[in-house]
C-alpha cells in the first residue's frame, strides 16, 4: 500500500502521464483511504483507551504507529530517572505516555511531561488541562514532521517553557527553552555533554546516557538522589 501510494503521488506530479484507467485507479485508491474521525475532545477521551495510539488535533483524531525498541528504552530510562528525582525533591509530577495534554486546539500525548507542583491544579483524572512545564518528544521516522513542525510551534504558542527533542537513530538531542512568548531558542544540541534543565531545579543530564542507558541506580547516585 505504501509503495503504491508513492507511485500515485509521483503520477500526480506528472498529469500528462495519466490515462483514463490510471485516473480511475487513483480515484478508487483515494476513496479507500481512511478519513480522520471527527469528534469533540470530550468524545475523544471517552473513545480512546490506554492502548489507543492517537492524538486529537483541531477536532480530528490523528493515529500513529507503535514505538521502536530504542524509542522505548530511552522513554523508560528518562521516566525512571526524572520521576524519582522529581518525587525525591517534591518538585511536582512526571507523566509518561499514554497521557493527554489538552492545549487550545489539540490533545497531544507527549512521550514525557513534567508538571511543577505550582501547576498541579491542571492535572485532571484523564488529562492535563493546559501546558506542562517540560515536554519530551522522542523522534521516529513517522513522528519527525509533527515533532519538529506543528508540535514545535504549538508547544511554543502554548507557553511550554522547555522542550526536548531526542533522536534515537541519529543519537542527537536538542534542548529548547522559551525565551520570549511563542519563540523557542535552542540551549544545547548534540550527542554528548551535560544539559542543566531550566524548569527542574537541580536536574542535569549527561546526553550520552540517552544512547548508553546505564543502570538507573547508578545515574541516581550520580545525581545525588540516593
Q: pLDDT of 46-99, one tens digit each?
A: 777 666 667 677 777 666 665 668 889 999 999 999 999 999 999 999 999 889
Burial class (CB in 10 A: 0-12, 13-18, 19+), 119: middle
Residue extent(s) of CATH 3.90.1570.10 domains in the chain: 69-222
**Do residues 54 and 61 make contact, with C-beta atoms less than 8 angstroms apart?**
yes
Please give the model's pTM, rounded to 2 decimal places: 0.73
Query: b/e for 151-182, b at 16 or more Cβ within 10 A?
Result: bbebbbebebbbbbbbbbeebbbbbbebeeee
Q: Tell me if residue 82 falls in helix, strand or coil.
A: helix
* pLDDT, tens digit, 9 for 90 and up, residues 101-140: 999 888 899 999 999 999 999 999 989 999 999 999 999 8
Q: Residue 193: CB partners within 8 Å, gap ≥ 6?
A: 206, 207
The CATH classification of domain 69-222, taken from the options 3.40.50.800, 3.90.1280.10, 3.90.1570.10, 3.40.50.150: 3.90.1570.10
Torsion of CA 163, 74, 148, 9, to 10 degrees: -160
Amino acid at each position: 500500500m505504501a509503495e503504491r501510494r508513492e507511485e500515485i503521488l509521483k503520477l500526480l506530479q506528472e498529469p500528462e502521464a495519466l490515462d483514463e484507467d490510471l485516473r480511475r485507479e487513483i480515484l478508487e485508491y483515494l476513496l479507500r483511504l481512511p478519513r480522520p474521525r471527527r469528534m469533540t475532545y470530550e468524545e475523544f477521551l471517552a473513545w480512546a483507551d490506554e492502548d489507543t495510539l492517537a492524538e486529537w488535533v483541531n477536532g480530528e483524531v490523528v493515529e500513529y504507529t507503535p514505538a521502536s525498541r530504542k524509542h522505548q528504552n530511552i522513554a523508560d530510562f528518562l521516566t525512571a530517572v526524572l520521576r524519582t528525582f522529581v518525587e525525591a525533591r517534591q518538585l511536582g509530577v512526571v507523566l509518561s505516555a499514554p497521557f493527554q495534554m489538552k492545549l487550545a486546539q489539540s490533545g497531544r500525548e507527549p512521550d514525557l511531561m513534567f508538571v511543577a507542583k505550582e501547576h498541579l491544579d491542571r492535572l485532571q483524572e484523564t488529562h492535563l488541562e493546559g501546558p506542562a512545564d517540560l515536554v519530551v518528544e522522542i523522534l521516529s521516522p513517522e513522528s519527525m514532521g509533527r515533532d519538529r513542525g506543528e508540535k514545535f510551534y504549538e508547544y511554543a504558542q502554548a507557553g511550554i517553557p522547555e522542550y526536548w527533542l531526542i533522536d534515537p537513530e541519529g543519537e542527537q538531542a536538542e534542548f529548547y527553552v522559551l525565551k520570549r512568548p511563542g519563540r523557542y531558542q535552542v540551549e544545547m544540541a548534540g550527542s554528548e555533554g551535560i544539559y542543566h534543565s531550566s524548569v527542574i531545579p537541580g536536574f542535569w543530564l549527561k546526553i550520552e546516557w540517552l544512547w548508553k542507558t546505564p543502570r538507573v541506580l547508578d545515574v541516581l547516585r550520580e545525581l545525588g538522589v540516593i
